[in-house]
Structure 1
Amino acid sequence: MQGRKCQNPVIGALTRTRKVSTSGDDSCYVRQVTVADQEIEVTIRRSRRKTMALHVSPDESVELRVPMKCPWVEVNAFLESKLNWVVKVRDELAKMPRREKPQYTEGSFHPYLGTDYSLRLIRGRPNLVVQDQGAIILRCSKPGREPLVEQHLNQWYRSQANSIFPLRIEACLARFNESMPYKKMTTRRMKARWGSCSHNGEVCLNSMLVQMPVAAIDFVITHELCHLRHFSHSKSFYRLLSSVMPDWKEREKLLLP
């Protein structure tokens, strides 16, 4: 599949921008954008950030993050200037193999820190999940109910993430020669991102990142720590990332399906 060249991108009219939510200091809008033969839905998130940044997630969704009071004419101009890049990235993502939906049955395999483990299910109480001897052992009252098994396993992943990630953050902070404005870490399950950060120094990590190898976990953490200095993917951002993690491109590939 060839990337489609955007000769005459057309931005949806202002009347096609609809506000979908307001949470705290953030406001969220959705805009329909027509690029060649593609209809792309762009989520525009206004917050207290100082710069504009455009993100294309692994599920091909597009999010534009902009300052709260940035005029719409500037938002439109920035978005239009990036449309060729958006189409290129979405085309590349469309060519990638998709991860199969995991099964939550006896003997199914689930990753943890880069290694696949067989799932062993036991009926009983209290609920328990442990990784032992090449398997993830899960005990619950109804092991035949996949949604329940999935819930318990995801809770275990988050518990492991909350134990492991702070240690990895300490290791990643040690890579920097300067003090970074990092304040705290939170975890939650995210559908389209491995991590995010905020201007107040908070780094939020996808709890499912604990499925990945430590090298990939460290890449995501270091990536977000660099954003605490440079919030956009600017040349300065990549200079900092390359200086503290020269092999970041190889590590990033570990996150691909």
Structure 2
Amino acid sequence: MGQKDSITWGTIEIPYRYSHSRRKTLGISVHPDLSVTVRAPNGTSIETIKAFVHRRGGWISKAWTDFEQYLPKQPERRYISGESHRYLGRQFRLKIEQGEIDTVKCLRGYLWVTVKEEPTPERAKVMLEDWYRQHAKYIFKERLTVCHQRVLREGIPLPAMLIKKMVSRWGSYSSAGRITLNLALIKAPKECIDYVITHELCHHKVRHHGPKFWKLLHRLMPDFEERRKKLKLYAD
């Protein structure tokens, strides 16, 4: 496994393990579990290894961030009757029909989309996304209030919230102290929504995904890894 050591790069602590071998050059790897390993030629000093890791600090920080991009690519949706859609972790069948008024209802395992004019996939998509957004505004606000209680002891303020469609992230936390949540998160269970919100709230104290960040998140939400794994299952 090698020897343990660490360096400080900016405000980030980078722990790593290093080992010596008959290789000719220094090499470094960042793994999906965010661990860092260094391989060094025999006889390389600890100081030389430290300096090497420090020079690669920016690359390591970026790799940690890249590994955190855990939102899978979503499949193409057709918005036709019989298609499966999710809401708060449950699957519902889409049912599109023509009626007297434009409505969307979640009832008995179905998402019923009633269209006053001719029902088309394009119209159903617009109506369903509007329905998701209306419910996301209420539920995300509720979960933000709950999650903020969890982080109060860390002195993290209650941020303003924005909801929008995002391509590759579930959420973000801006330098202005605003949390942005992906509209698609409304399809996941509340426990996963809470994970994303708590994750982003932690960025008020630690901007990068380094060891200090994960330590803080674990202290506030000890089961965050299980929630994160479950979230991946609902990214459709």
TM-score norm. by structure 2 comes to 0.67
Q: Is the 8 A contact 1:51 1:232 kept in 2?
A: no
Give the one of 166, 171, 184 matched to 1:208: 184
Deviation readout 1:154-201 (Å, 9 max, x if unpaired): 111111100100110111111122331233111011111110111222
Q: Which of 96, 110, 116 lines up with 1:135 in the alignment? A: 110
In the alignment, the residues of structure 2 paired with residue 82 and residue 240 of structure 1 have an alpha-carbon distance, to the nearest angstrom, of 17
Matched, 1:249 2:198: no
Q: Does 1:147 align with 2:100?
A: no
Structure 1 residue ranges without an equivalent (≥5): 1-49, 53-75
* Equivalence map 1:16-35=2 (5 Å): none
Query: SS of 1:224's equivalent?
Result: helix
Q: Note if 1:174 corresponds to 2:149.
A: yes
- Tell me if 1:115 matches 2:90: yes
More contact order relative to length (CA 8 Å, sep ≥ 6): 2
Q: CA deviation at 1:125?
A: 4.2
- Is the 8 Å Cα contact of residues 51 and 231 (structure 1) preserved in structure 2? no
TM-score by length of 1: 0.62
Partner in structure 2 of residue 220 of structure 1: 196
**Which stretch of the first structure deviates more once superposed, 224-233 or 172-181?**
172-181
Structure 2 distance, partners of 1:120, 1:234, is: 45
Residue pair 1:189, 1:207 contacting (<8 A) in 2 also: yes
- Bigger proportion of residues as helix: 2
Aligned-partner residue type, residue 133 of structure 1: R
Summarize the Cα distance change of 1:253–1:190 in structure 2 as closer, same or farther, 3 Å threshold: same
- Which residue type is aligned with residue 222 of structure 2? P
The alignment's C-alpha RMSD in Å is 3.0
Instruction: State the structure with more CA Rg.
Output: 2
| Matching residue's letter, 1:171 | V
Say which SS state the counterpart of residue 175 (structure 1) adopts.
Answer: helix
Unaligned runs of 5+ in 2: 1-9, 13-54
Select the residue among 152, 162, 167 that pairs with 1:191.
167
**Paired residue for 1:36?**
none
Aligned partners of 1:187 and 1:206 also within 8 Å = yes
Conservation of the 8 A alpha-carbon contact between 2:169 and 2:182: yes
Residue 138 (structure 2) aligns with: 163
Q: 1:97 to 1:159 in 2, by over 3 A?
A: closer
After TM superposition, list the pairs within 5 Å mapping 1:66-77 onto structure 2. none
Partner of 1:63: none
